[in-house]
Amino acid sequence: MRWRQGVAVAALAALLLTGCRGGRDPRPPAIRYDRDVCAECGMIISDERFAAAYVTKSGEARLFDDLGDMLVYEKKDDQEPIAYYVHDVRSRKWIPAEAAYYVRGESVKSPMGWNIAAFENEAEAREFAEKTGSRLMTWQELRAADLTMPHAHR
């Protein structure tokens, strides 16, 4: 009898937790390229390779034309981000930002000049970084970096 009560309590707890999250995990938002604008700079998002986004605790999506713009904007957003997404620069597939590997350097030409590219595959990112003399970074390193404002934002 105790076992059944335990299972029932666990099932109820799972349902309650799911209900608190709106019943679904956040997903990468759809971006209408050449129509949607970047939340930080207001420019039209047109290059899928560098587009980024996050979903807030309230379920709102914030869209960006450049990964650096997302990092700047989230520091001043009054909504707490709960999921970050970036595109793999090669496949253009959405990937969770925490799972990506980043290459930052002058050889990366991103829309707003932050010069950051995301890769799903660490070996590809490492190879690109070595070939271009750029820096390989993790999500944690990128978020902790002191990003200086690129020329396009001055």
| Domain chopping of the chain, boundaries | 25-153
pLDDT at 7 (0 to 100): 36
pLDDT at 1 (0 to 100): 47
Segment holding 26, helix H or strand E: none
pLDDT at 26 (0 to 100): 84
Q: Enumerate the β-bridge partners of residue 118.
A: 88, 102
**Amino acid at position 63, single letter:** L
Token representation of residue 146: 């002191």
Q: Are 87 and 118 in contact (CB under 8 A)?
A: yes
Entry pTM: 0.80
pLDDT at 150 (0 to 100): 62
pLDDT at 151 (0 to 100): 54
Print pLDDT tens along the chain (154 aa): 444 444 333 333 333 333 344 445 789 999 999 999 999 999 999 999 999 999 999 999 999 999 999 999 999 999 999 999 999 999 999 999 999 999 999 999 999 999 999 999 999 999 999 999 999 999 999 999 887 766 555 4
Range 55-66 burial, b when 16+ CB lie within 10 A, else e: bbeeeebbbbbb
pLDDT at 25 (0 to 100): 73
Q: Enumerate the β-bridge partners of residue 136.
A: 103
Task: Decide: helix, strand or coil at residue 80.
Answer: coil
Q: Enumerate the β-bridge partners of residue 64.
A: 52
3-state secondary structure 39-52: CCCCCECCCHHHCE
